[in-house]
Each structure stands twice: as C-alpha cells, then as structure tokens.
Chain A
C-alpha cells in the first residue's frame, strides 16, 4: 500500500474524469486483409501468408465479415454508420510487418453513439473504427525484461487480426464506473457475437485516459493515457492510482504533464513511457491500396435486423421474470421487487450470457429467484462450461434443491461436478451420499438439539429469533450437513407454536 492509494483523489477534493479506448479482436474466421486463420494459441507463425507478413508486392483485401461485425458493434452502441476510409499509421516496430498499421483515421465506420450502464447512466461513444492487430513479441533472456533481453522472437499469427477500437467520451467519473462500462461493453460484444471479449487472452484490451479536476468544476484537466491494463482489476487499480497521483501533483502546486504511462502490476503504480513532445508522428495518409468502405443501406438494415437482444433488454426480461419493474426508474410494482443482491445477480448472468439457464429453468417451474441465484453465484464461476450445461440436468438439480432432496450446500457441489464432467444430478447426489434428511428424521434431530440446549430454547421461545442460526448450526453438526436450513427453521417455528 502506498500513501497515494490510502488517499484517493476524491478524498482530496478532486473528481477523476475518465475516457476509455477499448480494442477488441473480432471473431472472424480469417484475418482483416488476407485469408489466414484468425485463431488464438496456434503454433507461432503458422497462420501467415505474404499479405499478413507484409512481403514485398503483397496487397490487402478487406474482409467483409469484419465490416459486418464492426457494424454490429456500431449498431449495438447506437452509432451512426458512415462511409469510411483506411489510413496508414506509420511507425517502426518489429511486430508490425509493414512498419505501418492500416487503421481508420478521420473517417471511421461508426461515430456518435452511447453505451447505457445498468443503472441507466449513458456514456458517449465517440467512434468505433476498424484496424489491424500487430504480431506479438516475446523477449527472451534477461528475466523477460525488454531492456535486458538477449533476443526477441516475433509471432505474426496475430498480425492482421481484425480489431475494432471503441473510443468513449470522457464521461466516466470513477474507477468503479469504468469497470462497469468495460463489463457492459464486454457483454455487448459477446451478445452480438462480434468478439469473445476475453481480456486474459488479449482479445479485449483497454487503455484509459485519466485526468482530474476540482470537484464541481466543468473544465477538463490535462490527461495521461494508461496502457497495459490486462484485467478489470488492473483497470480499477490503475485508475485509482493515477487519479490519486495527479491529485497529489496538483495539490503540490505543480501541473500534470500529458504523458503515456504504463501500469506496472507488480509495483502497483503507473510509470511514464513518453511525454507529448516525444510522441510519435504517425504521418497518417490515405491507404492507397484500399478503396473506401460504404456499406449500402440494405446491408445495414440486414445487419441491424439480425442483432440479438442486447444486455439492457435481457436484464429487463430477467427482472420481469422476478415480477419486478422492467427498469430501475419504472413505476413501482408491489410484486417481488429485486433486492440489490438480485440486481447484481441479474447483471452477472447477463454479463456471462447465461440468461438462457435462468429463463429455461423458470419456464420449467423452478422459482426464478433460485434459478437466478444458482446461475449467478455458482454457474457463472465457469461461464464457458455453464453455457454448455445440459438444460434438463440443470433444471433437475434445481428441482431437487427446491424439493429439499439436497441442501443448498450439496446442490452447489453437484453443480460443480455437473460443470466439470456433466452427468445426471440424481446419480451424482447418490454417489456422493447426498440426500437431505427426510422430514421425520430432521424433526428428530431438531428435537435432540433443542433438548440439549434448554437455555437457548427458552430465549428463542421468547422471541429471540437470531438464535435460529445457532440451532441450524447445531442441527448441521448432528446431521453432518444433510439438513436444509429453511426446513430446520420451519420445524423450530412449529415447535415454538
């Protein structure tokens, strides 16, 4: 913990202003400008050809699937789709085969949209444009640090993979809000099938532009761009650190210097990479090897009509399932309003694309609140497998839990195995010796426990409800965890009369 982290910017009277640039790799079969496979994790330099290696004489040909996915993203972010062009961004770097990157510059395909956070707050999307990815450099020797490395190896499998860069307006006001934005954006990318949104594999990468200003001011301060944010955790920590650092700079009477900074996860701080004066001159000019991209209205209409339901809509549907109002601000319906915990569960389920598990269970008669809780709290731990979970097995497990045939704890264990290996939940429960106690033997166990603790029973009888937890714990001990908490409470209440 550094002093800066213990003294956040807000505590010093400063408000952070954050804009994010999110790069996401598109889920196309082939690369942006050639027919090579777009795949992660293959043997290095196997998905390459003259075009993506930038061999002399090779020329790019635009992948129309990438244009379609870029339009999907644009439409999902309420952008206007415009006729666009490609430019060359010139700079030397070994993992960039042509020593220029083909990117969209002053005429991007998507402009002027917004993303609505789950709480209804709208974040402006300035643009979402197409560009090609670079290769990947590995520094060998010298402990993996760039400057001490003995040599470097470059894998060009990623070179030419299609990217969309989504640039937000500086509308975010906290690290937590930035996190929510990225999570929501990831849900949208996954929902539209445009990207798999995996930060850990680098298919979604975030740069943060951070500045601070006196709370209540409308001016924008000098910003720093933070790179190397490989996870949501890094994003939050880096923004908090950077805002605090800038606040401290301003407090000491100095000025923030416009810089590109690198997030050092190990040291938990940002370090300067280069200042504005040292910034590259990219010498952008129109890419003469490509023609303008102008998706005709019919194509745009086709893409728009094929868009799947987006996260906001899906959250609304889950709320309705719980008998709750469709939106946070909507008129109150006295049915069963979602608790804050349930709102979180809904967000989690949608973020991981697991709505189907909840809705199908509810359709089969499982209580929506139970389906939601198990899906959000347990199934989402392994979202990839959860999406492949057999619907009937899942419903059958939830029904077992509802009927008290297994306890909540046991249901979680069975679910873990279901995710891991699949199978029939009834068989799994039997093999593991799970069976919730039948009502008779449970009543017996409760009676034994009550008899063994007369003082506590007296207090409970006179209305000290919190002692129920004590009895549940004792019953669990006696039954080796086979009792169901709710049933124990019901039995205690029956005894109390």
Chain B
C-alpha cells in the first residue's frame, strides 16, 4: 500500500525531522509561484498559516501530541467558514464576508494539527461543474491549463493535483468532489450523508451536500476522512454514531469481494473512459474480486430529479443573501428594491438560473408535479441501490462521461454542463459513499477517473477497492502546471 505525502509529512513533523513552519512555507512558496496562472486559490493565508504552523511546532517541542495531520498543509474550499478569514463562495455577494466562526471540519483539521493554507476557488455557491462560474475567474486544469479542472470544487482538486497542498477539502452535492478529482487526476471521496458535519458549510442543497477529502493517494484521503468524520451536535443530520474508520483498512484488499459493474454508470461515456472502466474491472478481478455485470435502470432518472431537488433547496438556502445583515448591499429607496438590486448585482447567471428554477419547482400548483415527483424518484433510486447491494459489496463505474473539456466549451450550454454529473449524482440522491480514483489517461494525456460506490457507511469498502485500483492504475503523466518537487513526494526541502 502506498502511503501518501500527507502521512509522510505528518510523520516527519511529529518526529521533529522537519518543522511545520518549514513545510507550510515550502507550500506557500509553491502557491506564490504557480497559483497566479493556476488560480486554485481565492484567498491565501500567508501569515495565518505560518502562525498556525508555529503553534504546531510548539506542541511538538513540548513533547505533546500534535495530532495525526501535524503540520500538513490543507486547501479548503471557499464555502467552508473560517473564523476571521473571508469566505466568499466565489460570489460577489459574499466577497468581503468574514465569518465569526469556524466550520466543524475546520475545527477538526486544526485540532489534528493540520494547517489551512488557503481558501480555494469554486463555482459560485458550488453550482457548476467547471469552476468557470466563479465570480473571480476560472481555475485551470494543471494537466492542461486551457482546460477546466471540473467543479464545483475545482480549486481544491487543482491545488492538490499541482502539489500546492497534499490534501484538500471539497463539498459534493452532485459530484463536486469526484468530478474535479477525476478531471485533475487525484483521489476524491464523497462520504455517506451524515458522516461529516455540515456545520459551517455554506449550504447549496442541504439534503445532498456532503464535505469530503481530496488527496493524491487513497490512504491520504482515508486519513483526512478519519479526522473530519464523526458525529457533531451542531448538525442535526449528522449520524449519531462514530464514523467508520478507514485509514486502518486501506490495505485490506478485495479478495472475495463482489463488485458490480453498473452499465448505466459507463455505457454513455467516451471510449477512453469506457476502456478505463473495463481495465479497472479486470484489475479488481486480478486482485481476487468477483466481478458482476449489473444494471440499475432507475439511475437514468437521477439527473432530472437532481436538477429539481437541488435548485429547490438552493432557492430557499440562498434567500438570506438579501443585503440586510451581511455581504453585498446595493442601496435602493425601499427594502424590496434593495433586496432585488442586491441579489441582481451579487449573483451570477448560473446561481440566478437555479434560484429561479427552484422557486418555480416549489410554487403553489407546481410543487407536486416537480418537487414532489422528484422526491419520489429519489426514493426509487434509494430502493434500487438497496436491492443491488443485496447482491454485491461495491459498485464500479466511470466518474465522468468525458475527460477535462476546454474552458468556455460548455458555458453556453447548461444541459451539456449538467451532463458532466450524470454518473456522480445518483450517490448524492441515495446518500451513499463513493470515491473517484485516477485510472490512466486518454490519448491527450488527460486523466480519467473511475468511481467506486458502496452502501451507506461503506467508506471502508470504497477505500479498499480504491487502493487496489490505485495500485493497478496505468501511470499518469506529471501535470504541466505543478511544483514537480512537491509532487515527487520529495520529503526534502527544495
């Protein structure tokens, strides 16, 4: 089993071989050189990160336990609240908003000794699949800067792929961790709904949103998941039980595991992606897994249902950006005009589209036909997965239908953009865990991701299958836009 750069760095810092300050400064230096072109970060915490690292070094020097992520730099998606550090959601409406509190995941990172080095770019309020919907400009794909990194967590995916941080946090509402992970050639996991606290995650679609890890190896992703997971009394939808532990089982293999290859999760993908799924299935069989072809026809209805449910919840979640209490305010003669002018100026086109779509779907006379019907579809999908898991332990498919597309390609065609999420959305509707692991590249050298799904609380299973795939994956070329030394797993200062 490959350990990852995060666990190596943490081991070195804990052993006193390297100082956290030096590790963090090394990464901040890479950010300063590479990010002007990559644009993975909205805000870089230069001084704050060094101060936090110094605090970790003090703990180490005092002989106390600095935590499992001691001194490890983390890139945090800019829709998770950081006390005193602006949290923009890549929106004009929150451009200058400084939260007075930390998200639970940020508290847990800090308690584990990790150091937040910056807040990463996203599609505005996490609505998009390319990070082009950011009010502050798109993030580039490290493998080809003319292409998108995917989205909405494109900034965290690109930062981890380029070596600017060994691990990162994203949020996944319809694929927003797994899709950019696939397009940038890194590991991304969406945990079971309720295993990671949403407290402090700026809501997009509350019943679907879930925070999860980005990493360059499955074991680092598992390490990060174990730190952020677990019950949180501040989140009523947080499961009232310990999150499953994953780091200790990553290397357990798949001998005897039954893995279903889901036709609907790859057959409409482009040829290179389909080939990767087949190769991945063979690799699992080679490792002792029992491979079965299977079909879940209900997942074909996932995308339409998702594009009613998510905007419906978003239309309500985003109502609070009204110019009254915080964020942007555009003055007007009365309150209603002020609300309208503020929202018109503060929200981008995609957010506006989804708020209008969601408002319509919840309106009197339309609720049953749209929102109500979509909820029924969601229930059908949950039941379909449950039946499938009576036969198999895990499912395999593609993460995305295509590899990274060119910046600007799908901006004018929302439906083409929405189709990027067609394989990832079903897991959000079912609430089950899924991981995307890099598995080779297409002819242009662009990364391909394959996806492993498991029933609720099946994180141990997805990391076990993911680690086997990682070990069997064809080599992926180095990103063009990256700090090669940091990517090389070099533990030495450069």
A residues adjacent to B (C-beta < 8 A): 50, 53-62, 88, 90, 92, 94, 97-100, 152, 154, 281, 283-285, 288-291
B363 adjacent to chain A (CB < 8 Å): yes
* Cβ < 8 Å to A, chain B residues 358-374: 359, 362-364, 367, 371
CA distance A288 to B310 in the complex (A): 11
Q: Is B202 close to A, CB under 8 A? A: yes
Query: Chain B CB within 10 Å — which of A57, A62, A92, A289 has the most?
Result: A57
Q: List residues of chain A with CB within 8 A of the CB of B79.
A: 57
Knowing A100-B319, A281-B363, A291-B237, the reply to whether A58 touches B313 (Cβ < 8 A) is: no
A99 proximity list for chain B (CB < 8 A):
319-320, 322
With contacts A97-B320, A281-B363 taken as known, whether A62 is within 8 angstroms of B312 at the C-beta atoms is no
Given the contacts A50-B100, A285-B312, A56 and B236 also touching, CB distance less than 8 Å: no
Distance of B98 from chain A, by nearest CB (Å): 11
Check B236–A290 contact: CB distance below 8 A: yes
Cβ of A281 and Cβ of B94 under 8 Å apart? Answer: no
| Cβ contact within 8 Å between A90 and B101 | no
Chain B residues within 8 Å of A154, by CB: 324
| B347 beta carbon closer than 8 Å to chain A | no
Q: Which chain A residue shows the least CB distance to B208?
A: A288
Instruction: Assess whether B320 is in contact with A98, with CB atoms less than 8 Å apart.
Output: yes
Q: Once bound together, how far apart are the Cα atoms of A247 and B94, in whole Å? A: 54
- Could you tell me which residues of chain B, from 211 to 235, have a CB within 8 Å of some CB in chain A? 233-235
A61–B199 CA distance with the chains assembled, in angstroms: 11
A23 to B103 alpha-carbon distance, docked (Å): 34
Is the CB–CB distance between A56 and B101 below 8 Å?
no
Bound-state CA distance A240–B316 (Å) is 40
Q: How far is the CB of A182 from chain B (nearest CB, A)?
A: 31
Are B235 and A56 touching (Cβ within 8 A)? no
- Whether B319 and A92, one on each chain, are in contact in the complex, defined by CB atoms closer than 8 angstroms, is yes
Q: How far is the CA of A50 from the CA of B437 in the complex (A)?
A: 37
Q: Which residues of A contact B363 (CB under 8 A)?
A: 281, 283
Residues from chain B with a CB closer than 8 A to the CB of A98 are 319-320
Q: Are B236 and A60 in contact (CB under 8 A)?
A: yes
A291: nearest chain-B partner, CB-CB? B236
- List 6 contacting pairs A-B, 8 Å CB cutoff, sorted by A: A57-B202, A60-B236, A61-B236, A154-B324, A285-B312, A290-B237
CB atoms of B203 and A94 under 8 A apart? no
- Per the bound structure, the CA–CA distance linking A50 and B324 in Å amounts to 15
> Which A residues are in CB contact (< 8 Å) with B362?
90, 283-285
Which one, A56, A152, A291, contacts B320 given CB within 8 A? A56
Once bound together, how far apart are the Cα atoms of A290 and B101, in whole Å? Answer: 21
Query: Given contacts A94-B335, A283-B362, A288-B313, is CB(A54)–CB(B234) below 8 Å?
Result: no
Q: Hey, which chain B residues are within 8 Å of A62, CB to CB?
A: 236
List the A side residues contacting B320 at CB < 8 Å: 54, 56, 97-99
A283 to B359, Cβ gap below 8 A? yes
Cα distance A288–B359 when bound, in Å? 16
Contact between chains at B202 and A56 (CB < 8 Å): yes
Does B7 reach chain A (CB closer than 8 Å)?
A: no
B184 → chain A closest CB, angstroms: 25
B233 and A61 form a contact (CB under 8 A): yes
- Closest-by-CB residue of A relative to B97 is A56
Task: Given contact pairs A61-B235, A288-B205, enumerate 20 new A-B contacts (beta carbons under 8 Å).
Answer: A50-B99, A54-B320, A55-B326, A56-B81, A56-B97, A56-B203, A57-B103, A57-B200, A58-B200, A59-B199, A59-B237, A88-B316, A90-B316, A97-B325, A281-B363, A283-B315, A285-B312, A288-B237, A290-B236, A291-B237
Q: Does B147 contact A (CB under 8 A)?
A: no
The answer for the CA separation of A62 and B236 in the assembled complex, in Å, is: 8
Given contacts A90-B319, A283-B359, contact A59 B326 (CB under 8 A): no
Q: How far is the CA of A288 from the CA of B204 in the complex (A)?
A: 11
Q: Are A57 and B203 in contact (CB under 8 A)?
A: yes
Q: Which residue on chain A has the smallest CB distance to residue B365?
A: A281
- Which of A57, A60, A94, A284 touches B324 (beta carbons < 8 Å)? A94
Question: Contact between B371 and A285 (Cβ–Cβ < 8 Å)?
Answer: yes
Interface check B207, CB cutoff 8 A: yes
Nearest opposing residue in chain B for A94, CB measure: B324
> Which residues in window 260-286 of B have CB below 8 A to A?
none
Which residues of A have CB within 8 Å of B313? 285, 288
Q: Which of B227-268 contact A (CB under 8 A)?
A: 233-237
The complex places the Cα of A54 from the Cα of B364 at a distance, in Å, of 25
Complexed CA–CA distance, A283 and B314 (Å) = 13
**Option from A61, A90, A92 in Cβ contact (under 8 Å) with B322:** A92
Does the CB pair A92–B87 fall under 8 Å?
Answer: no
- Tell me the smallest distance from the CB of A162 to a CB of chain B, in Å: 16
Contacts of A152 in B (CB 8 A): 335
Interface residues in B399-446 (C-beta closer than 8 Å to A) = none
Which among B80, B89, B100 is the interface contact of A55 at CB below 8 angstroms? B100
* Bound-state Cα–Cα, A58 to B200, Å: 6
Is A94 a contact of B236 with CB atoms below 8 Å?
no
Chain B neighbourhood of A54, CB < 8 A:
320, 325
B494 to A: closest C-beta gap in Å: 37
A285–B367 contact, CB under 8 A?
yes
* In contact, A56 and B94 (Cβ under 8 angstroms): yes
Q: Smallest CB–CB gap between A461 and chain B, Å?
A: 80
Q: Which of B117-153 contact A (CB under 8 A)?
A: none
Q: A56-B320, A61-B234 are in contact. Are A92 and B339 (CB under 8 A)?
A: yes
Output the least CB separation between A58 and chain B (Å).
7
User: At the interface, yes or no: B336 with Cβ under 8 Å from chain A?
Assistant: yes
Give A36 Cβ to nearest chain B Cβ, in Å.
Answer: 14
* A interface footprint on B447-472 (CB within 8 Å = 1, 0 otherwise): 00000000000000000000000000
Which residue of chain A lies nearest to B371 when distances are taken between CB atoms in the complex?
A285
Instruction: Kindly state whether residue B190 has any CB partner on chain A within 8 Å.
Output: no
Residues of A within 8 A of B206 (CB): 288-289
Of B199, B233, B336, B364, the contact of A57 (CB 8 Å cutoff): B199
B14 at the interface (CB under 8 A from A): no
Task: Give the shortest distance, in Å, between A145 (CB) and chain B (any CB).
Answer: 14
Q: B74: CB under 8 A from chain A? A: no
CA distance A288 to B317 in the complex (A): 10
When C-beta atoms are compared, the residue in chain A nearest to B201 turns out to be: A57
Cα distance A154–B94 in the bound complex, in angstroms: 21
Q: Are A59 and B322 in contact (CB under 8 A)?
A: no
Q: Are B198 and A59 touching (Cβ within 8 A)?
A: yes
- Which residues of chain B have C-beta atoms less than 8 A from A289's C-beta? 203, 206, 236-237
Bound-state CA distance A50–B101 (Å) is: 8
Q: Determine how close the nearest CB of chain B comes to the CB of A347; give it in whole angstroms.
A: 43
B80, B233, B316: most-surrounded residue (chain A CB, <10 A): B316
Nearest-CB residue, chain A, relative to B235: A59
> Within the complex, what minimum Cβ distance (angstroms) separates B66 from chain A?
27
Give a binary string over B67-103; 1 marks a CB under 8 Å from any A CB, 0 the rest: 0000000000001110000010100001001011101
Contacts of B371 in A (CB 8 A): 285
| 8 residue pairs, one from A and one from B, having the closest CB atoms | A99-B319, A283-B362, A288-B207, A288-B206, A56-B202, A57-B200, A57-B81, A57-B202
CA distance A100 to B317 in the complex (A): 9
Chain A residues, Cβ within 8 Å of B207: 288
User: What residue in chain A is nearest B358 (Cβ atoms)?
Assistant: A283
Q: Is the CB of B325 within 8 A of A285?
A: no
Task: Report yes or no: B94 in contact with A59, Cβ–Cβ below 8 A.
Answer: no
Residues of chain A with a CB closer than 8 A to B198's CB: 59
In the docked arrangement, what's the CA distance between A281 and B364, Å?
Answer: 6
B325 touches A53 (CB 8 A): yes
Q: How many angstroms from the CA of A397 to the CA of B118 in the assembled complex?
A: 75
Residues of A within 8 A of B101 (CB): 50, 55, 57
Q: Note all chain B residues with C-beta closer than 8 A to A284.
A: 362
Q: A55: which B residues are within 8 A, CB to CB?
A: 81, 99-101, 326
Give CA–CA (A54, B317) in the complex, Å.
10
The distance from the CB of B357 to the nearest CB of chain A, in whole angstroms, is 13
